[in-house]
Amino acid sequence: MSSSTLRLALVGNPNCGKTALFNLLTGARQKVANYAGVTVERRSGVFVDGNGRLCEILDLPGSYSLHANSEDEAIARDAVLGGLRGERQPDLMLAVLDATHLHLGLRLVLELKALGRPMVVILNCIDAARARGMVIDAEALSRELDCPVVSTVAITRGGAEQLLAALPAFAPAAQSLLKLTGQSVESLYQEVDRILARVLTDPGRYPVWQDRLDRVVMHPILGVALLATVMLLMFQAVFAWAAPLMEGLTFAVDWLAATTTGMMAAGPLRSLLVDGLFAGVGSVLVFLPQILILFLFIGILEDSGYLARAALIADRTMAKVGLQGKSFIPLLSAYACAVPAIMATRTIENKRDRIATILIAPFMTCSARLPVYILIIAAFIPDRPLVGRLLSTQAGALFGLYILGFLAAAFTARALKSSILKSDRTPFVMELPPYRRPTLRSLGLRLLDRAKVFLRRAGTVILVVAIGLWILAHVPLDHGKAPQIRDSLAGTVGRVVEPVIRPLGFNWKIGIGLITSLAAREVIVGTLGTIYGIENADEESMGLREALRRDLAPGGAAALLIFFAFAMQCMSTVAVVKRETGGWKWPAVQFGYMTGLAYVCAWAANVAVTRWLA
């Protein structure tokens, strides 16, 4: 952005409809990044104002006060005061005021007004206010605040033009580093009351249906039952609804690979494209439907106002492991896939709680572990009834692995929250926003945003890993041809790591599988298939199971299951943690901890099972 570009910043309370206004003004021309050095999301976009000038608009994090209580609020404060590293002070502040929450919003507006910078007040959600019978005199408000006031309904299409037309002609303002004024809260509220007495001709009444709905949603029994139902539905959707889409994507990638195979002559380039690129990138792409469905659910829950209530209901349960209610939904989604779960932790404002949630999310049994679990369980555990017909030994083993992951997550959370991630007692005050109907526009933009983030970031890492692995498996050339896998660089690496993994009961072939599955857990199935030289190896194949039984003692099989339950064998997760935490520190800590835990527990499992059978 050149220095002649006008800079606007949206400031306002959380849930005041700021982001809806931002979406309206910028459409899909948005950029999502992080503020320099912190993990707070920076949303900016460009639009052309009524006079044809290019404007850059910043959607500052929602805040209740310039006396910041969280990292998000500190960013908003520093941005308007002009002290935010790497950011120019806005030329014009757009203070967004939710017309149904005038009390709360006006106090912030008065704090902003005291700064003496150019400001326009946007009276948002004016339709909801009218529906409540509120009568607001916008002209009187403008006189009282001595700045322009624009009434809008953020969700309607015409809103953008209306807002643009009402923006006053403004010029780049001089930059000046400001200080907070020391007005007391009481005096600010006195001023708010004085203004409201002149502006609010009829205060209206809180909609009765909202209270009735809350009586059900927050009922001690009904509320919990409703939350459980919503969660089950979400879980089911991520698993079941995504399945056909995932199969479709797999089919498309396979078709592309087959077509490429047919069109190109056999050779290293074809192999790189088909075995490296398509296989590698395809294995990531299949997660996209799960991610989109999960975010569709989270979007609906958040936009409708239910998410805050769900967090409230789950808060005490999560508090037992040192976390809070807002960690509940990300952790639940991690049962499907840790990648969207980690992206979903953005709803947690407390930074330390958010990091703790990110660190334990990959312990939850994600769907990528299933192919591995199924293969090993089917190969080593005889299928016998365990609890009558209800539960077989195989299903019991699978369930046990789910429990194991959960326990590891709970244990780790407790350990983290009572040591390195111990939070100061900061105020836990959560607003329960009014129920609203989610708009298709907002949901669509959310999904678009998440899909872009996922494909761009996680996709590039996987691409590099896939190509790297392919190369390792194909060099050094043996008389101009690809070598036997044992003699390839990958095979050599497998044999080099063999002494390290032998105590777990693994040989060099499993070693290669462990290394390739660093990219994604289920890759080990295909890798072992390739290594054993069995065609069409998939988890249902009898050949692969028999080969595994020849290669792996029961102790080693148990160790392999435990290893996959705990180890962070997933490059997409590493990439997304790096992105979400803004550096390599946390993914490195997490990877080291999970791999260490996996190694020790797998070793213990190997020893225990071998002794027990002896």
Partner 1 sequence: MPAGELHTIDQMPRGQRRRVLDLLGNAEFGPMDALVTRRLKELGFLPGAWVEVIGHGFFGRDPVSIRLGGSKFALRRAEARKVRVETAGP
* Residues engaged in binding partner 1 (CB under 8 A): 64-65, 67, 69, 100-104, 107, 185-186, 189, 206, 211, 214-215, 217-220, 223-224, 308, 312-317, 325, 424-434
Nearer to partner 1, 65 or 610 (CB): 65
- Provide CB contacts within 8 A for 153, sequence distance 6+: 124, 125, 126, 127, 159
For residue 214, the minimal CB distance to partner 1 (Å) is 6
Q: Could you tell me which of 454, 431, 422, 432 has the C-alpha nearest to residue 351? A: 422
Q: How far is the CB of 68 from partner 1 (least distance, A)?
A: 10
CB of residue 106 to partner 1, shortest distance in Å: 11
Q: How far is CA 283 from CA 246, 365, 571, in A?
A: 10, 18, 11
In this complex, which beta carbon is closest to partner 1, that of residue 138 or of residue 395?
A: 138
Please, what is the minimum distance in Å from the beta carbon of residue 433 to partner 1? 8
Q: Which is nearer to partner 1, 36 or 225 (CB)?
A: 225
- Shortest gap between Cβ of 199 and partner 1 (angstroms)? 14
Give dist(CA 572, CA 518) in Å, integer.
Answer: 10
Q: Which is nearer to partner 1, 316 or 549 (CB)?
A: 316
Q: Which is nearer to partner 1, 314 or 343 (CB)?
A: 314
Query: Minimum distance from CB of 385 to partner 1 (Å)?
Result: 36
At its nearest, how many Å lie between partner 1 and the CB of residue 80?
Answer: 16
The residue type of 170 is F
Contacts of 77 by beta carbon, 8 Å cutoff, 6+ apart = 63, 66, 67, 68, 180
Least distance to partner 1, CB of residue 346, Å? 19
Are the C-beta atoms of residues 10 and 16 closer than 8 Å to each other?
no
Radius of gyration of the chain (CA): 28
Nearer to partner 1, 110 or 562 (CB): 110
The interaxial angle of helices 393-417 and 351-360, nearest 10 deg, is 150
Torsion sign, CA atoms 297, 300, 302, 307:
negative
CB of 96 to partner 1, least distance (A): 15
Contacts of 61-68 with CB under 8 Å at 24 or more apart are 62/12, 62/13, 62/14, 62/15, 62/16, 62/18, 63/11, 63/12, 63/13, 63/14, 63/108, 64/13, 64/14, 64/104, 64/108, 65/107, 65/108, 65/111, 66/108, 66/111, 66/112, 66/180, 67/180
What's the min distance (Å) between Cβ of 208 and partner 1?
A: 13
Nearest to 354 by CA among 335, 375, 329: 329
Cβ closer to partner 1: 399 or 428? 428
**Cβ 328 to partner 1 shortest distance, Å:** 11
| Nearer Cβ to partner 1 (185/269) | 185
The helix/strand/coil state of 37 is: coil
Nearer to partner 1, 172 or 207 (CB): 207
Residues linked to residue 57 through DSSP beta bridges, in sequence order: 8, 45
**Toward partner 1, which CB reaches closer, 189 or 593?**
189
Question: At 343, which amino acid appears?
Answer: M
Spatial CA neighbour of 442 closest among 17, 4, 39: 17
Q: According to DSSP H, which parts of 367-423 are helical? A: 369-380, 393-417
Residue 42 structure tokens: 């920076």
519 touches 469 (CB < 8 A): yes
Whichever of 159 and 433 has its CB closer to partner 1, that residue is 433
